[in-house]
Amino acid sequence: MVKRQPKVAIAGAGMSGICAAIILQRSGIDDVTLYEKAHEVGGTWRENTYPGLTCDVPSRFYQFTFATNPDWSQLFSPGGEIQQYFVDVAQRMGIYDRIRFGTEVTSARFDGQKWVVCARGADESRVDFLISATGVLHHPKIPDICGLDNFTGPVFHSARWDHSVDLHGRRLAVVGTGSTGVQLVTRLAGTPAQLSLFQRTAQWVLPLPNPRYRQLTRITHRAFPWLDRVAYRAYQAAFETFAVGLTKPGWQRRFVAALCRANLRTVRDPQLRKALTPDYTPMCKRLVMSSGFYRAMQREDVELVTAAIDHVEPRGIVTKDGVLHEVDVIVLATGFDAHAYMRPMQVIGRDGLRLEDAWRDGPHAFETVAMPGFPNFFMLLGPHSPVGNFPLTAVAESQSRHIVNWIRRWQRYEFDTVEPTRSATEAFNATLTTAMPDTVWTTGCDSWYLGKNGLPEVWPFTPARHRAMLARPKLDNYELRTVAPLAQQ
C-alpha cells in the first residue's frame, strides 16, 4: 500500500519549529509549511539582543543532536552566536524554503477532517496536522507601574532592546532581578555613571565560569565530530543527575544550595549581603548562573534598591518609602508571560471547542504535547514540559520525534485523526499534581513556573522519564478515528 503524504503546518519558526521541520523532513515528510510572524528564524534568540545575553546551558548541550556545532566560542555561548547557529542550521537543512515570513497565524479551526489555518498575509490553508511551536518565553511582561508613560527618558523591555540609546555616562535603572537583570548588571556595570537595580525578590546565583574555547579545541572538534556527541552525552548525564534535585530532596539539592551560599559570602558588605539573600530554597525559582554578578553589585557606581516601586514620574522612579531615584533610562527586565503558549492565536477543535474554554482552569495537556478535543494537533514545549534549567533543544527533539511517529502511523492508514482521551488526560494531570509536593518549586516561592492554581506548570519527574514516555505512547490513551470516505474527498 502506498503511504499517504500529509500536509503539515507549523506555527512558529523559532528553535522548536525549526527542530520539528527538520525531523519531519528527515522522515520523508516534505509538505511542511512554517508560519513565522517575524522576518527571521530564531524565536526568543532573535528577539533578545540585550547586552550580556548568555545561555545558561552549555553550548555543546544546547544544540540539536543532528546538527552539532564544533565552533562554539565559549562554554556558555552569547545570544547572538546561538541565534546564528539556528539561522545556519535552518539554511543548511533547507528549511527557509518552507517558511512564510511576516505571516502570523491568527486562527486555526478543525473542520471535521482537516485543520483550516488562517494567517495574516496568506491564503487560508487546509492541513492534515497542525503543530504549535510558538515557544514559552515570547510575550514580554510589562509591569503595571503607575506613571511609566510619563517618564521623559527612554523606557524599553529587555526583549525589545533599543540599541540607539547610549548608556555611557547616564543614570540607568534596571527593574527586575531574574537571569536577564543579573546578566545586564554584570555586563553593563561601569558603563553608566550610575546603575540602580530595583529588586523585588533576591535570587540565588550559581557561580559558573564561562571560559572561551581555544582555536585548537575548535579544530579538534571539526576533525573528530564524535567529540561533539561525547560532550553532549556527558553534559546530558550531568544535567539529568542534578535534575533529580528539582524533583525530590537529596544531595543534589544540598550541593547546589551550598555552592550558592558560598557564592553569596563573597559579598563583603554585611548589609548588602543580607539584602541579596533570598528567603527561599535554591532552585525554587529558575536558578541564575553568573560568576560576576556579586562583583558588579559591589561597585561604587552600582546601587541595589529593595524598596518597592510606587510610581514613575518624569524625573525617575519613586519607591514606596518616598524616595525619588532620578534616572535617565529605564530598562524593564521583567520577564515574559510563560503561560500564554500559542495565544493570542485562536484554536478551535472538534465540535467548536475553543482553546480558551479548554484552558479555562489553566493550561494543561496530555503528556505535554496533545489535548483531548483537538485532533491531529500537537504542541512543542507545551504545558508541563521539562523547562526548568534544562535545554529546550533536547525537549523539542523528543517531542518532535513523538509527533513524527504519530504522523507515520497516519501515513500507514492506522487512523485519520488522533487525540488523547479525556480520561487519560485527567489521569495524567492528576499524576503530575500528586508528584508536585516533592519538587523544589513548591518549597515556598513565587515564580513564573506557577499557574493560576498556585501549582507549578512544569515536569515533576526526571527528563529521562519524559523522554521515555514520549518514545513509548500507549494506544489505549488515545482516541483513533477513521473519517468516512465521502468526507475525505
Position 445 in a domain: yes
- 82-86: long-range pairs with CB below 8 Å, 24+: 82/45, 82/55, 83/42, 83/45, 83/46, 86/14, 86/15, 86/18, 86/41, 86/42, 86/45
Are 118 and 106 spatial neighbours (Cβ–Cβ below 8 Å)? yes
**Both 66 and 168 in a single domain?**
no
Chain Cα centroid distance, residue 226: 28
State the Cα–Cα distance between residues 344 and 378, nearest whole angstrom.
17
State the Cα–Cα distance between residues 38 and 68, nearest whole angstrom.
26
Q: Which residues contact 374 (CB under 8 A, 6 or more apart)?
A: 110, 347, 349, 350, 353, 355, 358, 419
State the Cα–Cα distance between residues 388 and 449, nearest whole angstrom.
8
Position 242 in a domain: no
Amino acid 489: pLDDT? 38
C-alpha cell at 312: 514613575
State the Cα–Cα distance between residues 471 and 489, nearest whole angstrom.
33
Q: What is the DSSP string of 210-272?
A: -PBPPHHHHHHHHH-THHHHHHHHHHHHHHHHHHHHHHS-SHHHHHHHHHHHHHHTT---HHH
Amino acid 344: pLDDT? 82
**Both 121 and 24 in a single domain?**
yes
> Any bridge partners for residue 315, and if so which?
none
Domain containing residue 172 = 148-203+285-332
Of 293, 310, 332, which one is at a domain's C-terminal end? 332
Are 283 and 246 spatial neighbours (Cβ–Cβ below 8 Å)? yes
**Both 101 and 67 in a single domain?**
yes
Position 369 in a domain: yes
What SS3 class is residue 441? helix
Reference 53, options 142, 137, 158, 162; nearest CA is: 158
DSSP state of 183: H
**Both 162 and 180 in a single domain?**
yes
State the Cα–Cα distance between residues 129 and 99, nearest whole angstrom.
16
Position 1 in a domain: no
**Both 158 and 128 in a single domain?**
no
Amino acid 473: pLDDT? 94
Of 293, 309, 332, which one is at a domain's C-terminal end? 332
**Both 421 and 438 in a single domain?**
yes
Position 426 in a domain: yes
Helix then strand then coil, in percent of the chain rounded to 5, is: 35, 20, 45
**Both 315 and 355 in a single domain?**
no
C-alpha cell at 177: 532581578
Amino acid 488: pLDDT? 43
**Both 73 and 181 in a single domain?**
no
**Both 155 and 133 in a single domain?**
no
Are 247 and 439 spatial neighbours (Cβ–Cβ below 8 Å)? yes
> Any bridge partners for residue 108, and if so which?
117, 347
Amino acid 486: pLDDT? 41
> Within a 10 A sphere around the Cβ of 170, how many other Cβ atoms?
17
**Both 181 and 316 in a single domain?**
yes
List, for residues 362-398, the tens digit of each pLDDT value: 889 999 999 999 999 999 999 999 887 678 999 999 9
Reference 306, options 207, 177, 190; nearest CA is: 177
List, for residues 95-110, the tens digit of each pLDDT value: 999 999 999 999 999 9
Of 332, 353, 387, which one is at a domain's C-terminal end? 332
**Both 296 and 181 in a single domain?**
yes
Position 409 in a domain: yes
State the Cα–Cα distance between residues 332 and 150, nearest whole angstrom.
15
Residues across the chain: 489
Position 17 in a domain: yes
The CATH code of the domain that includes 123 is 3.50.50.60
> Within a 10 A sphere around the Cβ of 300, how many other Cβ atoms?
6
Whole-model pTM?
0.93
Amino acid 339: pLDDT? 65
Number of domains in the chain: 2
**Both 346 and 470 in a single domain?**
yes
| Distance set, CA 426 to CA 100, 247, 457, 470, 479 (Å) | 36, 21, 15, 17, 14
State the Cα–Cα distance between residues 5 and 184, nearest whole angstrom.
48
Position 226 in a domain: no
Listed as ranges, residues in the chain with pLDDT below 50 are 486-489
> Any bridge partners for residue 130, and if so which?
9, 377
State the Cα–Cα distance between residues 286 and 70, nearest whole angstrom.
28
